[in-house]
Chains A and B, each alone.
Chain A
Amino acid sequence: MSDLAIELQGIDKSFGAVHANRNINLSVHKGTIHGIIGENGAGKSTLMSILYGFYQADRGNIMVNGNKLIIRDPNVAIASGIGMVHQHFMLVDNFTVLENVMLGAEENAILNRGIVNARAELKRLEDEYALEVDPDAIIEELPVGLQQRVEILKALYRGAEILILDEPTGVLTPAEADHLFRILEQLRDQGKTIILITHKLREIMAITDEVSVMRRGEMVATRNTADTSVEELAELMVGRRVLLRVEKGEANPQGIKLSVEGLTVKDGRGVVMVDNVSLDVRAGEIVGIAGVAGNGQSELLEAITGIRRAESGTILLNGETINASGDADPQDLRKRGLAHVPEDRHHMGLVLSFEENENAILGYHYDENYLNGPMLNLDNIRKSASESVEKYDIRPPDVRLKTANFSGGNQQKIVLAREMERDPTVLIIGQPTRGVDVGAIEFIHKRIIEMRDAGKAVLLVSVELDEIRALSDRILVMFAGRVVGERTPEATEGELGLLMAGVEEEKEAAQ
Chain B
Amino acid sequence: MSVPYAKLPVWVEYGLIPLINLVVAFLVAGLVVLLVGESPLKAATLMVQGAFGYGEGLGFTLYYATNFIFTGLAVAVAFHCGLFNIGGEGQAYIGGLGVALACLLLDGIFPWFLTFPVAVLASAVFGAAWAFIPGYLQAKRGSHVVITTIMFNFIASSLMVYMLVEVLKPLGSMAPQTRTFLDGGQLPRLDWLLSIFGFDIGGAPFNLSFLVALVAAFLVWLLIWRTRLGYEIRTMGASPTAARYAGIKEVRIIIITMLISGGLAGMMALNPIMGDQHRLQLDFVTGAGFVGIAVALMGRSHPVGIIPAAILFGMLYQGGAEISFEMPQISRDMITIIQGLVILFAGALEHMFRPAITAFFAALRGSGEASEAAAAGE
Contacts and interface: CB of A to CB of B under 8 A. Distances in A.
Nearest to A333: B247
A354 B238 contact: yes
Counting chain A CB atoms within 10 Å of each CB, the highest count among B7, B239, B244, B247 belongs to B247
Contacts of A371: 228
A342 B226 contact: no
Contact of B247 (A330, A342, A344, A350): A330
B227 A330 contact: no
A362 B235 contact: yes
Interface stretch (A42-50, A82-90, A373-381, A482-490): A373-381
A334 B247 contact: yes
A374 B245 contact: no
Give the secondary structure class of B's interface.
helix
A363 interface: yes
Contacts of B222: 375
A149 interface: no
A376 B231 contact: yes
A313 B246 CA distance: 23
Interface residues on A, range: 20 to 34
Given A307-B244, A329-B247, A366 B239 contact: no
B232 A340 contact: no
A333 to B, nearest CB: 8
Contact of B242 (A332, A351, A375): A351
B302 interface: no
Contacts of A342: 245
Interface in B208-241: 222, 226-232, 234-235, 238-239, 241
Contacts of A366: 228
A358 interface: yes
Counting chain B CB atoms within 10 Å of each CB, the highest count among A331, A332, A405 belongs to A331
B235 A351 contact: yes
A306 interface: yes
Contact of A349 (B7, B229, B231, B245): B245
Interface string B244-260: 11111000000000000
B241 A348 contact: yes
A332 B239 contact: no
A111 to B, nearest CB: 32
Contacts of B245: 305, 307, 330, 340, 342, 348-349, 362-363
Nearest to B229: A374
Interface residues on B, range: 20 to 34
A306 to B, nearest CB: 7
Contacts of A352: 238-239
Counting chain A CB atoms within 10 Å of each CB, the highest count among B222, B229, B248 belongs to B248
A19 B228 CA distance: 41
Contacts of A229: none
Contacts of B231: 358, 361, 365, 376
Nearest to A340: B245
Nearest to B230: A376
Given A366-B228, A375-B226, A331 B238 contact: no
A365 B239 contact: no
A353 interface: yes
A241 interface: no
A347 interface: yes
Contacts of B227: 374-376
Given A330-B246, A350-B242, A362-B235, A374 B7 contact: no
B242 A348 contact: yes
Interface string A277-310: 0000000000000000000000000000111000
A14 B228 CA distance: 42
Nearest to A328: B247
Contacts of B7: 405
Interface string B110-130: 000000000000000000000
Contacts of B229: 374
A340 B239 CA distance: 17
Interface in A240-265: none
A95 to B, nearest CB: 23
A374 to B, nearest CB: 5
Contacts of A340: 245
A358 B7 CA distance: 20
A361 B246 CA distance: 9
B247 A331 contact: yes
A185 B187 CA distance: 85
A332 B227 CA distance: 20
A160 B25 CA distance: 51
21 contacts: A305-B245, A329-B247, A330-B244, A330-B246, A331-B246, A344-B241, A347-B242, A348-B239, A348-B242, A348-B245, A349-B242, A353-B238, A354-B238, A362-B245, A363-B245, A363-B246, A363-B247, A365-B231, A366-B228, A375-B226, A376-B227
Interface of A: 305-307, 329-334, 340, 342, 344, 347-354, 358, 361-363, 365-366, 371, 374-376, 378, 405
Closest 6 CB pairs of A and B: A331-B247, A330-B247, A363-B246, A348-B245, A351-B238, A347-B241
